[in-house]
Amino acid sequence: MNSGNSYHGIDTNAIRVIRFKARQLSRLPGFSSSEIEDLEQEMVIDVLRRMPNFDPERAGLPTFISRIIGHCAATLVTRNRVDSLEGKMTRFSLDELETGIASEMTGTHSGMDHIHLAIDIGRLLCRLPNEHRRICQLLVLLDKPAIPQRLGMGRTTFYRRLGEIRSHFREAGMQNALAAA
């Protein structure tokens, strides 16, 4: 089944890899061939969003794009597995997303609010510098005192970075999301 999506201005090799990966995902449990175009669009959006981070000194463009697509596909599979563990596919509209953000700001939470918060946190983490993002990942896995040593940084630097991360969350209206950090 060929996709009807058209992506003008996107590298043709990237489109080829995206289409291949979307077809590959559509054959996995929890996905279907009717989702191919949606999967392609998710990956194209991710590539476009991350292109400003391209550094030709670190990798060639095909490698950079391939890694973005691979990461996006893995994220889609993970999200799909989480949804299936809950026994349902979670779909929501932009109106529901706005409601979730509003409820986070007012402090009221429902099951969907937690999903919305997770999406908002994911988006915020994508915008953080790599070092901040790594600290956030380790906050989930380790006790705070073990993180500076794991990262090879001093405690003062770690706590300064943690303060910067908190500022990002406050600016995004998600100060409660890092209450324990």
Q: Where are the domains of the chain?
A: 1-88, 92-127, 128-174
Give the per-residue pLDDT at 146: 87
Phi then psi for residue 89, to 5 deg, are -85, 130
pLDDT in tens, 26-83: 888 888 888 899 999 989 988 888 888 889 999 898 889 889 998 888 888 877 776 5
Please state the rounded mean pLDDT for residues 9-28.
88
Sorted by sequence, the CB contacts under 8 Å of residue 68 that are 6+ apart come out as 43, 46, 47, 50
58-74 exposure pattern, b = at least 16 Cβ within 10 A, e = fewer: eeeeeebbbebbeebbe
Segment among 55-59, 110-114, 139-143 with least mean pLDDT: 110-114
- For residue 54, give the 3-state DSSP assignment: coil
Burial class (CB in 10 A: 0-12, 13-18, 19+), 83: middle
SS3 29: coil
Structure tokens at 57: 């000194």
Q: Kindly report each contact of residues 27-32 with a partner whose C-beta sits within 8 Å and lies 24 or more positions away, as own/partner.
A: 28/77, 28/80, 29/84, 30/80, 30/81, 30/83, 30/84, 30/89, 31/80
Cα 162 from Cα 70, distance rounded (Å) = 29
4 has pLDDT over 90: no
Q: What is the pTM of this model?
A: 0.45
Average pLDDT score over the chain: 77
Amino acid sitting at position 38: D
8 A C-beta contact, residue 151 and residue 135:
yes
For the CA atoms of 12, 18, 23, 26, the dihedral, rounded to the nearest 10 degrees, stands at: -160
